[in-house]
Structure 1
Amino acid sequence: MNIFWGNIWKFPKFLISVFIGFFLTAAYPFFQLSKNTKIFYFTLLVLILLTGFLVIILKEMLGYT
Protein backbone atom coordinates (compact mmCIF):
# COMPACT_ATOMS: atom_id res chain seq x y z
CA MET A 1 0.00 0.00 0.00
CA ASN A 2 2.96 2.31 0.65
CA ILE A 3 4.08 1.94 -2.97
CA PHE A 4 0.60 2.89 -4.18
CA TRP A 5 0.54 6.16 -2.21
CA GLY A 6 4.09 6.90 -3.34
CA ASN A 7 2.99 6.60 -6.96
CA ILE A 8 -0.07 8.76 -6.33
CA TRP A 9 2.18 11.42 -4.77
CA LYS A 10 4.50 11.41 -7.82
CA PHE A 11 1.74 11.80 -10.43
CA PRO A 12 1.14 15.59 -10.04
CA LYS A 13 4.87 16.25 -10.43
CA PHE A 14 4.93 14.13 -13.56
CA LEU A 15 1.87 15.89 -14.97
CA ILE A 16 3.39 19.34 -14.38
CA SER A 17 6.67 18.32 -16.02
CA VAL A 18 4.79 16.98 -19.07
CA PHE A 19 2.90 20.27 -19.50
CA ILE A 20 6.06 22.34 -19.11
CA GLY A 21 7.86 20.14 -21.64
CA PHE A 22 4.99 20.44 -24.11
CA PHE A 23 4.89 24.22 -23.92
CA LEU A 24 8.66 24.56 -24.18
CA THR A 25 8.71 22.27 -27.21
CA ALA A 26 5.86 24.20 -28.84
CA ALA A 27 7.52 27.57 -28.12
CA TYR A 28 10.99 26.54 -29.35
CA PRO A 29 10.47 27.89 -32.92
CA PHE A 30 9.55 31.28 -31.46
CA PHE A 31 12.75 31.29 -29.42
CA GLN A 32 14.65 30.66 -32.64
CA LEU A 33 12.85 33.58 -34.30
CA SER A 34 13.97 35.91 -31.55
CA LYS A 35 17.55 35.67 -32.84
CA ASN A 36 16.57 37.69 -35.93
CA THR A 37 15.00 40.91 -34.65
CA LYS A 38 13.16 41.89 -37.85
CA ILE A 39 11.41 38.54 -38.15
CA PHE A 40 10.73 38.48 -34.40
CA TYR A 41 9.04 41.89 -34.42
CA PHE A 42 7.00 40.99 -37.50
CA THR A 43 5.87 37.70 -35.91
CA LEU A 44 5.04 39.48 -32.66
CA LEU A 45 2.99 42.08 -34.54
CA VAL A 46 1.09 39.38 -36.43
CA LEU A 47 0.34 37.49 -33.20
CA ILE A 48 -0.91 40.65 -31.50
CA LEU A 49 -3.13 41.51 -34.47
CA LEU A 50 -4.56 37.99 -34.67
CA THR A 51 -5.29 38.02 -30.95
CA GLY A 52 -6.98 41.40 -31.27
CA PHE A 53 -9.12 40.26 -34.18
CA LEU A 54 -10.07 37.10 -32.28
CA VAL A 55 -11.15 39.15 -29.27
CA ILE A 56 -13.22 41.49 -31.43
CA ILE A 57 -14.89 38.60 -33.25
CA LEU A 58 -15.71 36.78 -30.00
CA LYS A 59 -17.12 39.97 -28.46
CA GLU A 60 -19.41 40.45 -31.45
CA MET A 61 -20.48 36.81 -31.52
CA LEU A 62 -21.26 36.73 -27.82
CA GLY A 63 -22.96 40.12 -27.73
CA TYR A 64 -20.48 41.91 -25.45
CA THR A 65 -20.11 45.58 -26.35
Structure 2
Amino acid sequence: MYIFWDNILKFPRFLISVLIGFFLTTFKPFFELLRDKKNRIILIITISFSCTLFLKILKLMLGLN
Protein backbone atom coordinates (compact mmCIF):
# COMPACT_ATOMS: atom_id res chain seq x y z
CA MET A 1 0.00 0.00 0.00
CA TYR A 2 2.98 2.30 0.63
CA ILE A 3 4.00 2.15 -3.04
CA PHE A 4 0.50 3.27 -4.09
CA TRP A 5 0.56 6.39 -1.89
CA ASP A 6 4.13 7.12 -2.94
CA ASN A 7 3.02 7.14 -6.58
CA ILE A 8 0.02 9.34 -5.76
CA LEU A 9 2.30 11.87 -4.04
CA LYS A 10 4.60 11.97 -7.10
CA PHE A 11 1.74 12.83 -9.49
CA PRO A 12 1.62 16.63 -8.84
CA ARG A 13 5.33 16.96 -9.65
CA PHE A 14 4.81 14.94 -12.81
CA LEU A 15 1.83 17.08 -13.84
CA ILE A 16 3.72 20.32 -13.26
CA SER A 17 6.73 19.12 -15.24
CA VAL A 18 4.53 18.01 -18.14
CA LEU A 19 2.76 21.40 -18.24
CA ILE A 20 6.04 23.33 -18.11
CA GLY A 21 7.48 21.15 -20.87
CA PHE A 22 4.39 21.68 -23.01
CA PHE A 23 4.56 25.47 -22.71
CA LEU A 24 8.30 25.58 -23.28
CA THR A 25 8.11 23.53 -26.47
CA THR A 26 5.07 25.46 -27.67
CA PHE A 27 6.49 28.96 -27.17
CA LYS A 28 10.16 28.29 -28.02
CA PRO A 29 9.71 29.25 -31.72
CA PHE A 30 8.18 32.58 -30.66
CA PHE A 31 11.11 33.34 -28.37
CA GLU A 32 13.51 32.58 -31.21
CA LEU A 33 11.61 34.98 -33.46
CA LEU A 34 12.05 37.76 -30.89
CA ARG A 35 15.85 37.73 -31.26
CA ASP A 36 15.80 39.45 -34.66
CA LYS A 37 14.53 43.06 -34.68
CA LYS A 38 12.63 42.70 -37.97
CA ASN A 39 10.86 39.53 -36.82
CA ARG A 40 10.14 41.13 -33.43
CA ILE A 41 8.25 44.01 -35.05
CA ILE A 42 6.29 41.67 -37.32
CA LEU A 43 5.41 39.40 -34.39
CA ILE A 44 4.25 42.32 -32.22
CA ILE A 45 2.09 43.71 -35.04
CA THR A 46 0.59 40.27 -35.69
CA ILE A 47 -0.19 39.66 -32.02
CA SER A 48 -1.73 43.11 -31.53
CA PHE A 49 -3.83 42.73 -34.69
CA SER A 50 -5.01 39.29 -33.55
CA CYS A 51 -5.97 40.59 -30.10
CA THR A 52 -7.81 43.57 -31.58
CA LEU A 53 -9.69 41.33 -34.00
CA PHE A 54 -10.56 38.87 -31.23
CA LEU A 55 -11.89 41.64 -28.97
CA LYS A 56 -13.91 43.17 -31.83
CA ILE A 57 -15.49 39.78 -32.63
CA LEU A 58 -16.34 39.22 -28.95
CA LYS A 59 -17.94 42.66 -28.69
CA LEU A 60 -20.04 42.00 -31.77
CA MET A 61 -21.07 38.55 -30.56
CA LEU A 62 -22.07 39.83 -27.12
CA GLY A 63 -23.75 42.99 -28.43
CA LEU A 64 -21.56 45.38 -26.44
CA ASN A 65 -21.36 48.12 -29.11
1:48 equivalenced with 2:48 (yes/no): yes
Structure 2 counterpart of 1:64: 64
Structure 2 counterpart of 1:34: 34
Aligned residues: CA RMSD: 1.2
Moved over 6 A (4+): none
Amino acid at match of 1:5: W
Deviation at 1:51, TM superposition (A): 1.3
Deviation at 1:64, TM superposition (A): 3.1
> How many correspondences in the alignment?
65
Counterpart CA distance in 2 for 1:64 and 1:6 is 52
Output the TM-score relative to the length of structure 2: 0.87
Identity %: 48
Output the TM-score relative to the length of structure 1: 0.87
